[in-house]
Structure 1
Amino acid sequence: MAQQTKRGLAFCLVVLLLLMALPLTALGANPWAPNTAYKTGDVVTYSGSNYECIQGHTSLTGWEPSNVPALWKKQTGTPAPDTQAPTAPTVLKAGAVTGASVALSWNASTDNVGVSGYNIYNGTTLAGSSASTSFTVTGLAANTSYTFTVKAKDAAGNLSASSNAVTVTTTAPDTQAPTAPTKLTVGTVTANSVALSWTASTDNVGVASYEVYKGTALVAAVTGTSYTVTGLTASTLYTFTVKAKDAAGNASPASAAVTATTTAQPAGSNEIIAYFPSWTSYNTPEFTVANVDPTKMTVINYAFLDVCWNGRHGNPSTDPGNPNKNTWPCQDGNGVPNNAPNGAIVLGDPYADDTGGGGGYESLKKLAQLKTQNPKLKLFASVGGWTWSNQFSNLAADPTTRQNFATSAVSFLRQYNFDGIDIDWEYPNSIGVPCAAGQTCQRTADKANYTLLLQTLRQQLDTAGQQDGKRYYITIASSANQSFLSDAGGTSNWLSQAATYLDWINIMTYDYHGPWENVSNIPSALYKDPSDPSGATLFNVESTVNLYLNKGIPASKLTVGEAFFGYGWNGCNAGPKGDGLYQNCTGGATTGSDGSTFNFSYLQNKGYLTKDASGKYTVGGNGFTRYWNDATKTPYLYNPTSKIFIAYEDEASIHLKNEFIKTKGLRGAMFWELEADSNRNLQTIVSNDLPH
């Protein structure tokens, strides 16, 4: 028996020695796995090493710990166990008390490693946890006494001693609503805004806010007794009311209604919106802010910013339609990871956008400097685009990430002296670039959620605008396809509802046809061509604009997209007219400024187009003949020897689109993009045609 005891003790000693030889974290670490939720402090094993999670996230294939240093830190050595608890929180005190809640605050604890959070106790029951030194306990009974304490905790799970106890008695429930606001009055009225003011309400406890309604739609919640409703349509009658609310959520009856008719849109108020792609700074020759004439436009949309998700941005989809499959850590203007929350707007390329850590192009700051040359110039940050629309469905689906988006939008606008946000979601309910494996990029409810996102953004920007004394704008880039306007996910006339939160909509009235088709056609027809064999009678600017107007969207909230580029096809038959139009082709041309894309300035600089006697570029060169389609009001080029067909826009077609904009009473013109017209011929036509 004694011999067995000795053998047992010896065995235990061997086991203990083996355990001491192992890294401490290896004992409890599981192998890393995709599609798993990890929190800060979790430890996993991967490729024979231990990694500690430094930012909470849900893992995806491709996010292995060795690949994403922004999410995982490799552990080295054998750390000693943390057995020391934090100090007890001090000076626990109660703040606001209601019939159902108590606000608590306390002084921070200290710890040898670090305090990870605080547990709040209602008596001996855990009432909740907080990462900060404050917490509001909710769900309490009215007129009841409660005693609270707080304990600090560290990442190792050590709990401190309890703080001092604080005893609080909740009040009687507040069920009394405030009185209705009185003397609601209309102040200054413009083509797009109405100023309102009213006399304060009274309440047994206190008025917390006022809700301003346009008809039955809530447009703002404010704490003062005045508000200017913006984003309205010219020459339109509106009805307004106001309700008061208290902290318990009791709402007063509505005030007496007032009506106001917005004034007519003033002459010379057209918007001319120019897109500036960030990547053109890298082109040869480079196209930077120094190449921009800000007097020829009213708005510059800087393209593109992205959305952060799990510490990274970009689109890892391997689909052939994705032109850039890279992802990057979410970074600030200096190229430093910034721990942006999910849904937050982040720079797409810190080196092009700002300094990127030194020597960057600083395009955002230099664009703001253009306001000295044109004080009326507005700068918008365009978020998303064809490649980076992959996270819109996720962020729009959740109120927290919608708020993160709106909060980051305000921060960006203030930091860079910009004036608005342009959302380029391509497309809600029908994503353009198919999703990467394991990700979600579209939902049936996308269009309903898009409206909620715009509502959240509008409220946040209006609040910031009131504080900053300026108007912050919201626009979207929208599809010319009829399916974009169609309802989904239980929506009803979704885009007209979304438009109530928008200053205007930039319709991408181009790319109706292109070399993804095997028949040559017109990409940006102004009107339909009865002889077009495709049968696509809605693939023209006039039909698209009418679709939007028929949805009830005001003309003053629509701009026509003008393409400063064209497309080329290879191997096109000459056809009976010898011009190559509407003929079978073998594929996209490869000799353009970017493959099958032919920028207008490229056509000029490479001799595809030459000047006529009036100085306009209406004469073909390099073996090409220039033709004009009088039905679509657009030009095209054809070379019978090379069998290359190129459809594009020139001074004549752009001028006719501008005349169409004025005839329809639309907000103005948007064009893609500045570098494509680096010689400034087309933008000069737009600037001269549309007073601004």
Structure 2
Amino acid sequence: MRPGISHTIAVAALAALAAATSCGPSSRYVVGYYPTWKRNALLNLDMSKITHLQLAFGIPTDEGTFTFDGEWFLPSLVREARSSKTKISLTIGGWTGSNRFSSIMQDVHKRGALVKSIGDFIEKYELDGAEIDWEYPGRAASKCNKFSPQDSANLLRFLHALRSNFHARFPDEQKLISLAVRVQPFDDANGPMSDVSPFAEFVDYASIMAFDINGVWANSTGPNAPFDYQHNRGLQLSYTQAIDQWLAAKWPADKLVAGVPFYGRSLTTREVIVAKDGADMYVPFANEVPQGDLDDALWYDVCENVNSMSGIWNYRHLRDQGLLRTANTTTDDWIRIWDHTSSTPWLYNPQLRRFITYDDQESLAKKVDYARNKGIKGMMVWALNGD
């Protein structure tokens, strides 16, 4: 952190979450993801600011079990969580870890193996529960990920079996089952389902991943995590649409958590943007993804068969690498523009033609207010190392 910068996105955002969700007859949730490969950036994590810690990720195997690369430090992390009264669960799947879910879920024996391996892991490490982050049931995501029109029905069968196993195996405890879900309800053969209430019977909460909406996969630059979408510009998905659609599909508000990002994404525009308005962000971009922050590096995407940068900027590096002088002001090479429709800021460097979409205290505060007004259970952040 550079001298003089004392307020980070997490301090402001999580304080707002706690203030916004602490009232009422039942406590509200602040869910934070802990990527095991970013452990060094999380050594000083203050767990008292979050209610639920999600360990990312367990990776399913062909047989229906899973692997997890953080077992060597998991006992100490569980002790830290206990001392902070923070629930700690394992998240299984993720973007590249979802490629076997469809085949596992359609096989009753493999479903049973996954249920058993989850129970074994929870018992061994005294965790509070498990989460399924399947990207996505009944819909294409990563090219490696198989999917089937029967995925959602098979997921429901799995959740029923997992809850039954937890009741039998941990009769004196209420082990948590949670889901990480996309911005629309689960798909069946006809698209997003209109009634997902049967899934909620077995689940304690579902966290909507209301980010990664616009990016290199889209036709133009646009907001990573828009509050609302701009009509006919960018993908027609957003934070408010996601919450409203899940609630309309009969998911209980008291089991719904809204996700926000502690990171942004960068692209290089083909032409220089002459920015007069926030909506000027929607322009064509170069095919090659630029390097993001100092943590970004080339990685090999086995599904796409390419080496690429991610273009990701964690919020803390927008500050400590000098793009932002304060929360709302930039250094000389960059300009900050606020888009009123998406209610997010974006940065632009005309010399580099570099565009960065991200969230900050102002954009997160609006999302927290919306969640509170909708009466949902709380907020989620991906990921805690972004601060």
- TM-score category, normalised to shorter length: 0.7 to 0.9
State the 1:667 CA deviation: 0.8
Select 2:370's aligned residue among 660, 673, 676.
660
Select 1:648's aligned residue among 354, 358, 362.
358
Quick one: distance in 2 between partners of 1:597 and 1:548? 28
Select 2:133's aligned residue among 424, 437, 447.
424
Quick one: distance in 2 between partners of 1:665 and 1:450? 27
Are 1:575 and 2:328 counterparts?
A: no
Are 1:400 and 2:101 counterparts?
A: no
Select 1:304's aligned residue among 45, 57, 75.
57
8 Å Cα contact 1:383/1:424 also seen in 2: yes
Select 2:325's aligned residue among 610, 625, 628.
610
State the 1:268 CA deviation: 6.0
8 Å Cα contact 1:569/1:585 also seen in 2: yes
Task: Give the partner amino acid of 1:306.
Answer: I
8 Å Cα contact 1:637/1:645 also seen in 2: yes
State the 1:373 CA deviation: 3.1
State the 1:432 CA deviation: 2.0
Select 1:409's aligned residue among 118, 136, 144.
118
Instruction: Tell me the alpha carbon deviations over residues 275-294 of structure 1, each in whole angstroms, 9 at most, x when there is no partner.
Output: 1111113xxxx324x22110
Quick one: distance in 1 between partners of 2:162 and 2:137? 17
Select 1:385's aligned residue among 63, 72, 94.
94
Which residue does the alignment assign to 1:499?
200
Instruction: Tell me the alpha carbon deviations over residues 504-549 of structure 1, each in whole angstroms, 9 at most, x when there is no partner.
Output: 111111111113334221111112334x634x44x11111111111
After superposition, the Cα gap between the structure-2 partners of 1:490 and 1:674, relative to the gap in structure 1 and judged at 3 Å, is: closer
8 Å Cα contact 2:193/2:249 also seen in 1: no
Matched length = 348
Alignment of 1:160-179 (within 5 A): none
Task: Give the partner amino acid of 2:114.
Answer: F
Which residue does the alignment assign to 1:509?
210
After superposition, the Cα gap between the structure-2 partners of 1:490 and 1:303, relative to the gap in structure 1 and judged at 3 Å, is: closer
Are 1:443 and 2:144 counterparts?
A: no
Select 1:669's aligned residue among 361, 376, 379.
379
8 Å Cα contact 2:137/2:187 also seen in 1: no
Are 1:592 and 2:292 counterparts?
A: yes
Q: Relative to structure 2, which stretch is displaced further, 517-526 or 663-672?
A: 517-526
Quick one: distance in 2 between partners of 1:491 and 1:517? 20
Instruction: Tell me the alpha carbon deviations over residues 38-85 of structure 1, each in whole angstroms, 9 at most, x when there is no partner.
Output: xxxxxxxxxxxxxxxxxxxxxxxxxxxxxxxxxxxxxxxxxxxxxxxx
User: What is the percent sequence identity of the aligned residues?
Assistant: 27
State the 1:427 CA deviation: 1.1
How does the TM-score come out when normalised to structure 2?
0.84
SS of the residue aligned with 1:291? coil
Quick one: distance in 2 between partners of 1:635 and 1:527? 13
SS of the residue aligned with 2:364? helix
8 Å Cα contact 1:276/1:301 also seen in 2: yes
Which residue does the alignment assign to 2:331?
621
Quick one: distance in 2 between partners of 1:303 and 1:277? 5
After superposition, the Cα gap between the structure-2 partners of 1:564 and 1:405, relative to the gap in structure 1 and judged at 3 Å, is: same
After superposition, the Cα gap between the structure-2 partners of 1:296 and 1:576, relative to the gap in structure 1 and judged at 3 Å, is: closer
SS of the residue aligned with 1:566? strand
Q: What value does the CA root-mean-square deviation take over the aligned residues? A: 2.3
8 Å Cα contact 2:265/2:357 also seen in 1: yes
8 Å Cα contact 1:429/1:447 also seen in 2: yes
More strand by share: 1
Which residue does the alignment assign to 1:455?
160
Quick one: distance in 1 between partners of 2:229 and 2:329? 25
Are 1:287 and 2:41 counterparts?
A: yes
Instruction: Tell me the alpha carbon deviations over residues 149-169 of structure 1, each in whole angstroms, 9 at most, x when there is no partner.
Output: xxxxxxxxxxxxxxxxxxxxx
After superposition, the Cα gap between the structure-2 partners of 1:657 and 1:490, relative to the gap in structure 1 and judged at 3 Å, is: closer
After superposition, the Cα gap between the structure-2 partners of 1:390 and 1:625, relative to the gap in structure 1 and judged at 3 Å, is: same
8 Å Cα contact 1:445/1:489 also seen in 2: no
Task: Give the partner amino acid of 1:574.
Answer: I
Quick one: distance in 2 between partners of 1:385 and 1:663? 29
Which residue does the alignment assign to 2:64?
343
Which residue does the alignment assign to 1:84?
none
Quick one: distance in 2 between partners of 1:293 and 1:547? 33
Task: Give the partner amino acid of 1:575.
Answer: V
8 Å Cα contact 2:186/2:193 also seen in 1: no
State the 1:405 CA deviation: 1.4
State the 1:444 CA deviation: 2.3
8 Å Cα contact 1:448/1:494 also seen in 2: no
After superposition, the Cα gap between the structure-2 partners of 1:656 and 1:491, relative to the gap in structure 1 and judged at 3 Å, is: closer
Q: Relative to structure 2, which stretch is displaced further, 663-672 or 580-589?
A: 580-589
8 Å Cα contact 1:573/1:585 also seen in 2: no
Quick one: distance in 2 between partners of 1:442 and 1:485? 12
Which residue does the alignment assign to 2:28?
270
Instruction: Tell me the alpha carbon deviations over residues 594-642 of structure 1, each in whole angstroms, 9 at most, x when there is no partner.
Output: 231111011111011122xxxxx11112511111112221111112222
Quick one: distance in 1 between partners of 2:290 and 2:187? 36
Quick one: distance in 1 between partners of 2:316 and 2:247? 33
State the 1:267 CA deviation: 4.1
Task: Give the partner amino acid of 2:141.
Answer: G
State the 1:464 CA deviation: 2.3
SS of the residue aligned with 1:561? strand
The structure with the largest alpha-carbon Rg is: 1
How does the TM-score come out when normalised to structure 1?
0.48
8 Å Cα contact 2:31/2:381 also seen in 1: yes
Task: Give the partner amino acid of 1:549.
Answer: L
Quick one: distance in 1 between partners of 2:324 and 2:25? 35
Instruction: Tell me the alpha carbon deviations over residues 196-219 of structure 1, each in whole angstroms, 9 at most, x when there is no partner.
Output: xxxxxxxxxxxxxxxxxxxxxxxx
Quick one: distance in 1 between partners of 2:36 and 2:288? 26
8 Å Cα contact 1:476/1:506 also seen in 2: yes
8 Å Cα contact 1:575/1:581 also seen in 2: no
Are 1:470 and 2:173 counterparts?
A: yes
Alignment of 1:365-384 (within 5 A): 365-375=75-85, 377-384=86-93
Q: Structure 2: where are the runs of 5+ without partners? A: 1-22, 297-308
